[in-house]
Structure 1
Amino acid sequence: MIRPFALSFPGRLHIAVLSVLLPLLASTAVRAEEPEWRTATTLGGEPHYAADFAHFDYVNPDAPKGGEARFGVEGNFDSTNLFLGTKGTPATSVASAYESLFTASLDELDISATYPLLADAMRYPSDFAWAEYRLDPKARWQDGEPVTVDDVIWSFDTLKEIYPLFGSYYSHVTKAEATDDRVVRFTFDAPGNRELPHILGQLYVLPKHWWQGKDASGKQRNIRETTLEPPLGSGPYKVTAVDPGRRVTLVRDPDYWGAKLPVSIGSNNFDRLIYDYYVDPTVLMEAFKADKYDFRAERSAKMWATGYDFPAKNEGKVVTMTFPRNASGVMQALVPNLRLAKYQDARVRRALNLAFDYETLKRTVFFNLYDRIDSFYFGTELAAKNLPSPGELSLLEPLRDKLPPAVFTTPYANPVGGTPEAVRENLQQAVALFAEAGWTIRDGKMRNAKGEPFRIEYLTFSSLDERYISPFAKALGRIGIDLDLRLVDDAQYLNRTRSFDFDMTVDVWGQSLSPGNEQREMWGSKAADLPGSRNTAGIKNPAVDALIEKVIYAENREALVTATRALDRVLLAGNYVIPLFYSKNSFYAYWKRFGHPEALPKYSVGFPDVWWYDPAVASAAGLSR
């Protein structure tokens, strides 16, 4: 399960008679059942908040409104249309203008429980064959027009068509239709997928009338094209100004229809949100030190360890904080493009991993702040450990002929370097694996039988990658492989990676604690050739496909964990990527102008959602604005 911009307990009803009669009786049986309307949906257990809850526990319901929050964003943008998966560089900062049918709290297990937003209730039958969402009659677009069932249906159909993420995520939802003027029904291609009713609540709803209308100049709008027009949404913030590639300004809507909803109380406290874009990460940091923006999420270990010794920090005007990552797992990795012949042999991919000396990087570059990733679900209970459990074996045994023997005999482990002796031994093993795959060193270069050299172009948009790519390139050079770093702008990077026009790149897959339908788009064979999909590596493995289905249709938490661990084990054994590094903590710095609830939500630092501008704090720090 994911939340776009931003990331289950599936199951199947095993009733033999129903299975036989379902094609004839489904419609009658479903309507006779008339399931209850729910004011929360959860993938396991009971939701924390009752139907009559006043507000989330972690907010200050009396938080003052006012002031502004300024952000610095690395990169640029050429579109305010967020929903084109294969075109343009979107300004994701406009997302605050949009809303979904239901929304998650920040203090429950990942996003496994959601509550009413545009819809005031939802329901589904016991066999999970469909789901209905009932719109809140108060819901309005920012131009005052009501949010309608027609908007929901048009959004669903359009986003499935134009955005690969939604197309894959909702691939088993066959139809959206109105059952009355407030209710939309989503019908599934088969019963038993327990996650589908829940994740439909994440659907972003767009204003059909606006997108099918004309802009101020009389030009017909087109959701299938890029645009720099401020978008119309239903959310608490309006996009009021767009400076192409440089700045997006949002202003809190004083007429926001949902201001008194329980999910909104204590949130959306700033009058303005300002997002400034910087192409260079060094300039971005200097802008923070110069008080050009307020809040910074630090992703460089070196910067965190050495870059915050400046006057404003030493004078107490800038605060630094470490926050645990409780909400999700991750795989961050170097990604060889398996669509290219030279990477299709798993021995080659493992050899490249052997040349990556993480332990030296950890000590010399990362200040011991990061850990090496050893799971596609790193940092969660979903990660495979040791040898397969009996439950995992029951899933893996039927696939044995499609799996490497190591899945059953050898737990995955990254190579370990850190000393000259270990590095030398790893490179010797790498050369041996290349030889097994038909590559040998001749004239100082790693060559195949045709004499063609093994070369790597590493594609990136961030100069920060050089900190670990340069040592990797040096190590590969010792075994006759040239690695060239190709630094391009955001737009070119997105266009090339969306069309899989790369040799090697880096990617990050955030994982929820309840994986489900999105796994098809990340690792499934069908997604490997779908432009814009998250299957960046190009994985095509029938065993992986089969295990993804086990994850999606797991009937309870125990079965979900077992199936995900089995999937993780198979993905790791394929050596599809070269795992990088991650911290189990997030690092933040901010100028001392703000207040926040005494206890922040467990799964998010909550900025800017539940923070507020505090003039007394700012004044005491000499930062009045």
Structure 2
Amino acid sequence: MTRNARLSFLRAGALALLCVSGILEAAPQHALTLYGEKPKYPADFTHFDYVNPDAPKGGMLRQAGFGSFDSLNPFINKGVAADDIALVYDTLTTNSLDEPFTVYGLLAEKIEKGPNNEWVRFYLRPEARFHDGEPVKAEDVVFSFETLVSKGAPHYRGYYADVEKAVVEGPRRVRFDFKHVGNRELPLILGQLHVLPKHWWNDRDFTSGNMEAPLGSGPYRVEKVEAGRSIRYARVEDYWGKDLAVNRGFYNFNRVHFDYYRDNTVALQAFKAGHFDYWLETSAKNWATAYDTQAVKDGRIVKDEIENHNPQGMQGFIFNTRRARLQDVKVREALALLFDFEWTNRQLFNGAYTRTTSYFDNSELASSGLPSKEELSILEPLRGQIPDAVFDRAFELPQTKADGMIREQQRRAYELLTAAGWKIENDRMIDANGKPVKLEFLLVQADFERVLLPYKRNLAGLGIELEIRRVDVSQYINRLRSRDYDMIVSGFGQSSSPGNEQREYWHSASADNPGSRNFIGLKDPAIDTLVEKLIAADSRDELITRTRALDRTLLWGHYVIPNWHIKTWRVAYWNHLAHPATTPDSDVGLMTWWHKPDVEVPKPKPIDGDETDESAPASASPAAER
């Protein structure tokens, strides 16, 4: 055989192998993983490890909602949607809660990917039904996608920006074609699509945030609504998906009920008085001091700390860089220096918290020290566009002696503000434009004011006035959407496999989108580049490296004043509730809990308003996804 003939033969063989590889990759599967690794659960699995497959059905789960609500449409940027309204809907796939990012078929029986992730196809289950008995069809999936992109909240357009089109291929088969190849996460993201009934929405206005009970295909339906005050969901007895492996051990309560409270202090007292069953405690002080009640002592209320393996993300005091005086990084760094975390942690939180030092804290994704060789290969092309400190300094936050004295931080802050053109005149700080500095901190949680008051005093020491403006939930959300704030407290939640959602946090494309979580107002081409590189990672190692590069760049931008985190969920619940012995890695798993049929539900008592009225939230704003 000649050399040319041998080359032709080898090329043909290689091509054949590629074709076979493509066929194997494209074969319909019961689950998808981010990098093509084998999923934890095989096609014939019977239930997830973190459920009790034999949990009894019955009873009611009573919970507290915060503020109010005025809509049962969670998909539009209008009004405040009721808590847990998503229980009404099913998605194409469902996430496993004990894997970094794996999805298993829910409405979709099988999922098929193109060889280069240029498309994804979903095969719907023939038994899938909406609550009115109508089958879930491919045209419902396409309708849902097109409606959310064209009429839904603006973040859907960004989230699905790389989808070229959705195509009905048959009654139960739908394909999504992508604008670009290689986006590993997009097929999994599309599996999270809530499927809406086209026939029900045909004669309704999707953009109207009204209180009509929606039609879905999920495990619950809306049973009763008192606008702004309470909502009750009833389990669908003939729910089409109740026997699926992905649902076994879930949705054990006959009813899920929310009563709304405008104040967390009142809500906590209501919980202890037996008005509802479950409370996720976000206050270290309350956890230490507010449960000295007879119900706790005799075991009727259980206090439990459940290990949280999630990356903790970044909660912080967020600067709105759309404001001219907050655009200078020196100003932001100076303002951050005046927050005394050590004093706050000791005096207000009983020393319970750890300072957050990464946008991906509590995970291998967090940056530390100096950049690695692999990180530098990503960062070097951006030298001059990102802070120089990224390359030669480890990011560290100042530490105080927790005695309330921060003279060193004040001195450094004053130097930075002077370098930014600010100065003190008549005991008041004047900005570079000669105007007295007054910052507004927009707040919705009354119980966070005690955290801000010491910070306000520290700012006043340099002649800076901080106005703490507390508003109700509706006003807060409207001002958040219109970006009408100087500072807020909120967070950027993270998973073990960050991806497309990072565009919603940091990318220029989301900065002017009123529904995005780009609260900072970031419009930075260098950060855009890092975000796109993260999304395009081809392996877990690449994802870790690229996430760390993005993390350290964000940190050195001083866009937030980092707050704190804790590595457990602190939950309190009445003892008629029970949960599986194994809890999922990334969630409390409340929908895997159940009601003990032989334990009596407490009779509500009058609420005692004389107990402690302080708490220190460590969560995102009420507008954030739960």
Structure 2 length as normaliser, TM-score?
Answer: 0.91
Question: Distance between the aligned counterparts of 1:164 and 1:539, measured in 2?
Answer: 17
Equivalences for residues 267-286 of structure 1 within 5 A: 267-286=250-269
Q: Equivalent of 2:99, from 104, 108, 116?
A: 108
SS at the partner of 2:65?
A: strand
Listed one character per residue, the Cα deviations across residues 282-312 of structure 1 (whole Å, up to 9, x for unaligned) are 1101110110000000011111111111121
1:403 pairs with 386, 389, 397, which one?
Answer: 386
What letter corresponds to residue 46 of structure 1 in structure 2? K
- The one-letter code sitting in structure 2 at the alignment partner of 1:188 is F
Q: Secondary structure at the match of 2:191?
A: helix
Counterpart contact for 1:358–1:418, Cα < 8 Å: no
Q: Which residue in the other structure is 1:148 paired with?
A: 137
Q: State the match for 1:178 in structure 2.
A: 168
User: 2:400: which partner in 1?
Assistant: 417
Query: What do the CA deviations read for 1:112-133 (whole angstroms, capped 9, x no partner)?
Result: 1111111101111221101001
- The structure 2 residue matched to 1:90, chosen from 81, 97, 110, is 81
- For the residues of structure 2 that align with 1:353 and 1:599, how far apart are their CA atoms? 40
Which amino acid in structure 2 is aligned with residue 455 of structure 1?
K
Specify which of 233, 238, 256 is matched with residue 239 of structure 2: 256
Counterpart in the other structure of 1:169: 159
Match of 2:132, as an amino acid?
D
- Equivalent-residue separation in structure 2 for 1:599 and 1:239 (angstroms): 30
Task: Answer yes or no: is the 8 Å Cα contact 2:481–2:515 preserved in 1.
Answer: yes
Deviation at 1:420, TM superposition (A): 5.4
Q: Equivalent pairs: percent with the same residue?
A: 46
Displaced runs of 4 or more, over 4 A: 28-34, 419-422
Number of residues of Structure 1 aligned to a counterpart in Structure 2:
585
Choose the corresponding residue for 1:42, options 28, 33, 42.
33
2:418 aligns to what SS in structure 1? helix
Counterpart selection for 1:384 from 364, 367, 382: 367
Q: Is 1:465 aligned with 2:448?
A: yes
CA separation in 2, counterparts of 1:399 and 1:449? 29
8 Å contact from structure 1 (residues 93, 248) kept in 2: no
Shift in Å at residue 369 of structure 1?
1.1
Residue 492 (1) aligns with residue 475 (2): yes
1:226 aligns with 2:216: no
Counterpart of 1:576 (choices 554, 559, 564) is: 559
Q: CA RMSD in A?
A: 1.9
Displacement of 1:450 after TM fit? 4.0
CA contact (8 A) 1:94 1:248 kept: no
Report SS of the residue matched to 1:570: helix
Instruction: Specify which of 432, 435, 439 is matched with residue 422 of structure 2.
Output: 439
Q: Aligned to 2:383, what secondary structure does the other structure show?
A: helix
Q: How does 1:255-334 map to 2 (within 5 A)?
A: 255-334=238-317
TM-score normalized by structure 1?
Answer: 0.91
Q: Distance in 2 between matches of 1:195 and 1:171?
A: 13
1:58 alignment partner AA: Y
Residue by residue over 1:139-189, the C-alpha shift from the partner in whole angstroms, topping out at 9 and shown as x without a partner, is 100111111111111111111222222221111011111112211111111
Matches of 1:615 and 1:418 in 2, distance apart?
Answer: 52
CA distance in 2 between partners of 1:30 and 1:169 (Å): 29
**Alignment match of 1:119 (pick from 93, 103, 108):** 108
Q: Is the 8 A contact 1:460 1:505 kept in 2?
A: yes
Q: Is the 8 A contact 1:175 1:188 kept in 2?
A: yes
The amino acid of 1:193's aligned partner reads N
1:42 is aligned with what amino acid? T
Output the CA distance in 2 between the equivalents of 1:404 and 1:422.
30
Partner secondary structure for residue 328 of structure 1 = coil
1:523-602 alignment to 2 at 5 Å? 523-602=506-585
Q: 1:275 to 1:141 in 2, by over 3 A?
A: same
In structure 2, distance between residues paired with 1:399 and 1:591: 54
The amino acid across from 2:237 in the alignment is: P
SS of the residue 1:457 aligns to: strand
- Report the more deviating stretch, 474-483 or 71-80: 71-80
The Cα of 1:536 is off from its aligned counterpart by 0.3
- Deviation of 1:599 after TM superposition, in Å, equals 2.2
Partner of 2:58: 66
- Say if 1:592 and 1:617, in contact at 8 Å, map to a contact too: yes
Alignment equivalent of 1:243, drawn from 203, 209, 226: 226
2-structure distance, mates of 1:55, 1:507 = 35
C-alpha change, 1:360 and 1:32, in structure 2 (3 Å) is closer
- Name the aligned partner's letter for residue 51 of structure 1: A
Measure the CA separation in 1 of the matches of 2:360 and 2:25.
Answer: 38
Match of 1:79 in 2: 71
Name 1:206's counterpart in structure 2: 196
Q: CA deviation at 1:557?
A: 0.3
State the Cα deviation string for residues 63-101 of structure 1 (Å, max 9, x = none): 2111111001221111111011x3111113211111110
Aligned AA for 1:53? Answer: F
Deviation at 1:314, TM superposition (A): 1.5
Preserved CA contact (<8 Å) 1:106 1:604? yes
State how far apart, in whole Å, the 1-side matches of 2:305 and 2:491 are.
Answer: 21
- Separation in 1 of the partners of 2:506 and 2:432? 31
Letter in 1 for 2:38: E
Matched, 1:616 2:616: no
Distance in 1 of aligned mates of 2:370 and 2:475: 43
1:193 lines up with 2:183 in the alignment: yes
3-state SS, counterpart of residue 309 of structure 1: coil
Moved more, 148-157 or 325-334: 325-334
1:348–1:437 Cα contact (<8 Å) kept: yes
AA at the equivalent of 1:308: Y
Deviations 1:222-251 (A, max 9, x none): 111211111111111111111111111001
Amino acid at match of 1:148: K
CA distance in structure 1 between the partners assigned to 2:357 and 2:24 by the alignment: 46
Amino acid at match of 1:107: D
SS at match of 1:89: coil
| Unaligned stretches of 5+ residues in structure 1 | 1-27, 214-220
